[in-house]
Structure formats: C-alpha cells, structure tokens
Amino acid sequence: MPYTEPALRAMHKAIAELNDLLPAPERLSTAGDTVLGGRLDSLGVVNLLLALERIVEENEGVTVSLMDLLEVDPTTSALATVERLTALVRDRMQAARS
Amino acid sequence: MTVSAQRLLLVADFNASNLQALFANDASAGVTPVGTSFGSVFQSLLAPPPADAAFVWTRPEAVSPGFAALLGNERVPVATILAEVDAFVEAIDGARATVPLMLVSSWTLPWYQRGLGMLDLKSEQGLARTLLAMNGRLADRLADRKDVYLLDASRWARAAGPRGDSPASWYAAKLPYTPDALKLAVADVKAALRGIKGGARKLVVVDLDDTLWGGIVGDAGWENLALGGHDPKGEAHQDFQRALKALSRRGIVLAIASKNDEAVAMEAIRSHPEMVLREGDFAAWRINWSDKASNIVEIAEELNLGLQHTVFLDDNPMERGRVRETLPDVLVPEWPTDPRGYVAALQALDCFDAPAITDEDRARGAMYVAERERQAVRLSVQSVEEWLAALGLVVRAEPVRPATLTRATQLLNKTNQMNLTGRRLTETALSEWVAAPENALWTVTVSDRFGDAGLTGLIGVTVLQSQASIVDFVLSCRVFGRQVEEAMVHVAASHARAKGAEVLRATLVPTAKNKPTLEFLRDRSGFASDGAEEYRWDCRMNYPLPSHVTLEVSETAE
C-alpha cells in the first residue's frame, strides 16, 4: 500500500525522538503492537504527534495534522498502538497527496 | 555553598517539562532538575525553592509587558522596556540569596518574526532593535554579578534553524521550542556547570599531517604542503591554525602528537612561510613513530595537566578510535573528513567553557614555553640545588583583593594535585569566607628569570586563639618542584605565629588526585604527623624559608 514505508519510517524516527524525553523504563519500542494509549501521558502524546507531523513534512513534503487525536479516547482510537497510529499517518499522507 | 549544582532549578515562562526531561535523562549533566510553575517567572525568582543553581529561560514578552505591547505595534518608549529589564535583574538578584549560581538565557525572537521589516533595526519601535537594547541592558546589568552568567540563546536559535521554534507545539502544550533547540540549551548549561566546577579542557593535542596542514610532510616535503595560498584546502588548514592560535590566546595550551620524523616535521613548522603556529606556540610535542595514546600521556605528564583536561584532534579515525579506547578521559571529538569543516568543528566545541579568562590564562602557553627552557637549564647543571639557585625565584604573597578574587576562585576550583582539601567555592562564597575576621587568604605569584608564572598559589589560614589551621593550600602544578610549597608554609606559619597561635595544623582531605599534597606534607614539609591526614607545626619555631627563594609578603591588599 502506498505510504506504508514512509509512514513507518516517520513513526520509528518520532519514537526515537520521543524516547529522548522519556525516563528509561518508559521508553517505547517501535514494534507494531506497542501500546500507546493509556501508557503515554498527555505531554507524551503531544510530543509524539508533533514529532510525527514535523517528520512527515520534512521527509515527505506532506502536511498532515494529527492534533484531532488529542480529543479522542487514546485507548480505543488510532492512538491505541504503534501499528494503528502508523496506519492513520499512512492514510492521512495518502489523503493529503490525493 | 559549593557549586556542585546537584539541584538545578528551571525557571521559564513556558512549559519546561521537556527541558526538565532532557536534563533528567542526561546522566552526564549531573543535576537533578527541579521545575517551577510556568508563567510565574517573577514569583519563582522572588521565592525560589532551595537549589544549587538555576537556569532562567524566558521569552522577552513574558518579562517585559512593554515589549509584549510592542509586538502588537503599540508605541512604547524604550526607557519603559529597559526599566522592565531592570526589574527582571532585581528579581534575579533576589533569587541569588537562595540560589548561589544563576544561568540566564538571553532573549530571542522566532525566526519568522520580521517585525517592521527593513525598519526593524532602524526604528526605535523595531522589535529587533529593541531586543538588542534589552539584551545589551541585561548583559550590562549582569556583568558585575558574581556567579550570574548570561547564556547566548541566539546561538541555539541559529543552530536549530527553522526547526527550533514551533508554533504548533506552542498551541498544543505551550512549548515554544522543539527538542532540537532544547538540546542545544541543555548542552550549553552543562558546559557552563562543568566549567564552573573546574572541568574545562585546558590542553589541545593536535596531529600534523592532514590536520594542521594538508598532505604528508614526510612524503611531500614541507614545500609542497597544502597550507595557505589560493587553494580552498590550504586556506582551510591555515584558518584552522588561526582558530587554534585564537584558542591559545584564551589560555588553552597547544601540543603536538604526530607520527613523523621529528626533524622533518619541525623543519616544516619553522620554515613554511604560511604556518600560523610556530614552535613557540606549542608547549610540548611528541613527534615520533610511537603509539599516540602513550605520547598524549607523556605530554600531559610533562605539562602537569590531567587527561581529563585534554582534547585530541586528529583527521585519522583509526588514531581517534585508538586514543578514545585507551584514554577514555581524553576528549576525542569526531572530526570532519573535509578540512573546510575543521574551523567550525573546533569552534563548536563546548569543552573549553570557563567562568572567567584571566591574564594568567592568556599567558599560559608562554609560561609552558618558559618552563621548557627552564628544564633545559636543569639538564645543564650538576644538581637540583644548583638549578634552583640559578632560577632567581621570587615568591610574592599578598592578601586576596577584588582584582585577584576571580583568579583565586578559579585556581581553587581548578587545582587538584596540590590542594589540601579540594573544597570548591563560588566567588561569592570565597569572598564571604575571607571577610570573616579569623580568616586570611593570600594569593601567591611566582616568577623567575625565565618568566612570570603569575598567580599560581593560595594559602588560607584560620586562627582561633592558640590554634591555627591551614584551610586552603593550593598550588598550580606549573610551579611544583621549586620549593614554592615551603615558601607558602613559611607565610602561613609566620602569620599564625604573629597572631599568637602555638600550633599550625594542616588536615588533608584526600581526593582522587591530591596525592602530591600528601607527599609534600608527609615527606618534605617538616610538619609532625598526627596520623595519615593530620599534620602540625610548632609555631614557637620559625618555619625556614628555602635559601634560593626571595619572598615578598604584602600585609595589606594593594
């Protein structure tokens, strides 16, 4: 599927940046089933989404907004896992390009 | 209070949680960051929680309502804004009662703020012009504050570029700066704390071939090196030498470790017309085919500088890797493959940050050259006594005074080997200690016929009735081995005796590095021992002054 690889690369880089800001025990794996919702605090979620927005724009030249995710239940939405968030980023990149 | 900066208070008008996280996650910072409520800068400064140091980072509109109005193109007299800067300085002064060390960031504007455009530096209402005035005022007002340092936030903004400021993160969480910019600030704060604790690097050991000049001198001959001329590579190497020379003028000692034939390499240094650095710019060199790590150890020993104060620059990644692995205390920065990047790589190093640059710092390189000449004489005479007599040594002791307080503090905090207790004090704390009537602190300057080593020693003595104690006994390793130590004890013992003390005590606080102090006390001082760390002199006896020393003691600060 288009944008799967770019979305995955952006996610890995964003998690690496986020991990700089997290205490060692709380750092995230890039594995798809890594739980995000309920694990990251609100600032952690903001930092991850901001990093994703910026990296996607820098690397792919596509502007996506993810701030609407701050308004939804993180445990059931696209924020639930790394895999689901990556899929959302991929879809939004595709939508922004179409 | 010491300057160990265990607790670092973060005062900001924005959400500093990410800044706090970066400090907390960086073990090398050696601090426990303590956050304050954002948006309450003045309140935090007026009643700060106890901390060893504070980092105060504000946006100009948060400190100056006048500047905030100016952002909306309201007309505001510059004097009004500068008065608000003064109020900020007063708040910083208030915090100093609780927090002994303050690091304050200068003010910046985000890169996209163009203000009045072409008028922004011309009009009195221009944002850029007003911000220059504000930063100038802040710098002027803080310049004479001891233990307050203004850090240049504009460099963080320049280095982070457009990625440094983020309106998106501001709207999301009141984070005006991205982690990229925050990391630059953290690095500068760490460098400042390290420098204040005496951890600044003092020695740069540099390779020759393809580092100081382009090409292999042993193969090409000095006439064919890429150095200067109308050639990008040659110009870059020459500018790198200029950058090293500039570094040496602020007190960083230069040395050479190179795999070469010494005669060939030295001929290049002496003869190449476009060399900026000459023989007299290097305090020491090891130019041979031996392992560079061993050569660096020898150089550091020769100069009496610790490996933890040493930097090694080499274009060869194998040599860098070898030294890094063998000598983990030596800083070996990654180095550009292209010499056009050498100057920037050198100037970007933050390991030389120090809280003051004194005349002694600026003359340090020349002092090492004089020492080399001194040692040459030593080799030419028959005995140590003959050598000492030939030096014409003059030791001058005088009470510390405002003009020498900065250097005295620096010496106290930097000196490891000849240091009785290893205590570290801020300039303010040292000044307060001296003010106590029972205490006395002398600075010691040393000179001989080869040169003036400058202010290289400190003696602090407390006299309480019949008991006197040496509190600080500090001597730069530059003047070890000339019996300056004995002359210093003579000063302390004479003072104790004059004040009516019967006993002069010296209590050693062992540190990882002050073994030379132990050896002096135990083996050469003449003090009686009351245990491994307790020494005393009976003040009823005169403490002898070495015969080759001319001692000049000033009883009052001049």
Residue B1 confidence class, pLDDT cut points 50, 70, 90: very low
Please tell me the total number of residues recorded for chain B in this structure. 558
The tally of CA atoms less than 13 A away on the side-chain side of residue B342 is 27
Q: Summarize the confidence of residues A8-22 as an average pLDDT.
A: 96
**Does residue B395 belong to any structural domain of this protein?**
yes
Higher-confidence residue: A73 or B199? B199
Interface contact flag, A21 B22, Cβ < 8 Å: yes
Which residues on chain A are in Cβ contact (under 8 Å) with B24? 23
Distance from CA of B144 to the nearest CA of A (A): 36
Whether residue B104 contacts residue B111, with contact meaning beta carbons closer than 8 Å, is answered with: no
Structure tokens at A85: 């968030």
Answer whether B429's CB lies under 8 Å from B100's CB. yes
Residue B558 confidence (pLDDT): 44
Residues of A in contact with B17 (CB under 8 A): 43
Q: How far is A91 from chain B (nearest CA, A)?
A: 21
- Search chain B and give the residue with CA nearest A46: B172
Asked if the C-beta of B32 comes within 8 angstroms of chain A's C-beta atoms, the answer is: no
CB within 8 Å: B25 and A17: no
Structure tokens given for B291 = 């392992």
What pLDDT is stored for residue B30 in this prediction?
86
Q: A69 vs A50, A73, A83, CA distance in Å?
A: 11, 8, 15
Rounded to 5 degrees, what are φ and ψ at B315?
A: -75, -20
Q: Tell me if chain A has a CB within 8 Å of the CB of B187.
A: no
Q: Do A17 and B179 touch (CB under 8 A)?
A: yes
Contact flag B25-A20 (C-beta cutoff 8 Å): yes
What is the average pLDDT across B523-527? 94
| Chain A nearest C-alpha distance from B20 (Å) | 9
Mean pLDDT of B501-510: 95
A 68-87 residues inside an 8 A Cβ radius of B: 70
CB contact under 8 A, A47 and B163: no
B166 touching A, CB under 8 A? yes
Q: Is B17 on the interface with A (CB under 8 A)?
A: yes
A22 reaches B (C-beta below 8 A): yes
Report yes or no: B185 and B153 within 8 Å, Cβ to Cβ: yes
- Window 28-47 of A: residues touching B by CB (8 A cutoff) are 43, 46-47
Q: Tally the domains of chain B.
A: 3
Residue indicated by tokens 């265990």: B6
User: What is the pairing mode between strands B148-151 and B101-105?
Assistant: parallel
Looking at the partner chain, which of B25, B173, B183 has a beta carbon nearest the beta carbon of A46?
B173
Residues B186, B41 share a domain: yes
In this predicted structure, what is the pLDDT of residue B534?
Answer: 93
Residue partners of B281: CB distance under 8 A and separation at least 6: B244, B245, B248, B254, B365
CB atoms within 10 A of CB B183: 19
For A48, name the nearest residue in chain B, comparing CA atoms only: B169
Cβ-nearest to B179 among A21, A49, A70: A21
Q: Is residue B299 predicted with pLDDT exceeding 50?
A: yes
CB-CB under 8 Å, A50 with B168? yes
Question: Which residue, among B541, B558, B553, has the nearest Cα to B504 in the 3D structure?
Answer: B541
The partner residue sitting opposite A23, judged by closest CB among B25, B166, B168, is: B25
Residue B237 located in a structural domain: yes
Do B191 and B213 share a domain, yes or no? no
pLDDT at residue B367 in the model: 82
B224 touches chain A (CB under 8 A): no
Question: B533 and B508 in contact (C-beta within 8 Å)?
Answer: yes
Over residues B322-349, mean pLDDT: 97
Find chain B residues with C-beta within 8 A of A21's C-beta: 18, 21-22, 25, 179
From B173, B196, B219, the end of a domain falls on: B196
pLDDT at B5: 47
- A contacts of B175 (beta carbons < 8 Å): 46
Mutation pick from A18, A43, A67 vs chain B, by most beta carbons of B within 10 Å, is: A43
Q: Label residue B379 by pLDDT band (50, 70, 90).
A: confident
Residues B446, B322 share a domain: no
ipTM: 0.93
If we measure between CA atoms, which residue out of B36, B35, B44 comes closest to residue B63? B44
Contact B41, B12 (CB under 8 A): yes
> Among A54, A83, A75, which Cα is nearest to A66's?
A54
Closest C-alpha to A67, from A38, A36, A44, A45: A45
Could you give the CA distance from residue B78 to residue B123 in angstroms, rounded to a whole number? Answer: 11
Give per-residue pLDDT as tens, B398-414: 999 998 999 999 999 98
State the best of B14, B17, B19 to mutate against chain A, taking most chain A CBs within 10 Å.
Answer: B17
What sign does the CA torsion over B173, B178, B179, B182 have?
Answer: negative
Query: Which range (B34-38, B97-101, B244-248) has the least confidence?
Result: B34-38
Give the CATH number for residue B58.
3.40.50.1110
Which residues in chain B are contacts of A49 at CB distance < 8 A? Answer: 172
CB contacts of B163 in chain A (<8 Å) are 54
Structure tokens at B226: 């890429």
The pLDDT of residue B165 is above 50: yes
In a domain, B529, yes or no: yes
Asked if A54 lies within 8 A of B163 by C-beta distance, the reply is yes
Looking at the fold, whether B112 and B248 belong to one and the same domain comes out as no
Instruction: Say which residue the tokens 């050498």 belong to.
Output: B342
With 90 as the cut, is the pLDDT of residue B16 above it? yes
Facing B179 at nearest CB: one of A20, A43, A70: A20
Does B19 lie in the same domain as B160?
Answer: yes
The HSE-up count of residue B487 (CA atoms within 13 Å, CB side) is 29
Q: Could you state, in order of their start, the residue ranges of all structural domains in chain A?
A: 4-97
B416 and B329 within one domain: no
Residues of A in contact with B179 (CB under 8 A): 17, 20-21, 47
Radius of gyration of chain A (CA): 12
Indicate whether B363 belongs to any domain. no
Number of other residues whose CB lies within 10 A of the CB of residue A28? 19
Share of chain A above pLDDT 90, in %: 79
Is the domain A4-97 a CATH 1.10.3470 member?
no
What is the per-residue pLDDT for B556?
A: 60
Q: Would you say residue B383 has pLDDT above 90? A: no
From residue B55, alpha-carbon distances to A43, B19, B185, B197, B270 in Å are: 22, 10, 10, 16, 48
Query: Mean per-residue pLDDT for B387-405?
Result: 92
- The rounded radius of gyration (Å) of the Cα atoms in chain B is 26
pLDDT at B287: 96
More confidently predicted of A72 and A32: A32
Residue B367: inside a domain, yes or no?
Answer: no
CB pairs under 8 A between A and B: 41
Using DSSP, state whether B472 is helix, strand or coil.
strand
Q: Is A91 on the interface with B (CB under 8 A)?
A: no
Domain termination residue (choose one: B161, B196, B231): B196
For residue B50, report the phi and psi dihedrals to the nearest 5 degrees.
Answer: -60, 135
If one counts every other C-beta atom within 10 angstroms of the C-beta of residue B307, the result is 18
Per-chain mean pLDDT for chain B: 93
Closest CA to A66 of B524, B169, B108: B169
Q: Do B21 and A22 touch (CB under 8 A)?
A: yes
B133 touches chain A (CB under 8 A): no
CB spacing of B179 vs A46 below 8 angstroms: no
Answer yes or no: is pLDDT of B209 > 60: yes
Domain boundary among B328, B347, B366: B347
Host domain of residue B422: 383-553
* pLDDT tens readout for residues B415-434: 889 999 999 998 999 999 99
B381: tokens are: 């005479």
Q: CA–CA separation, B137 vs A42, rounded Å?
A: 39
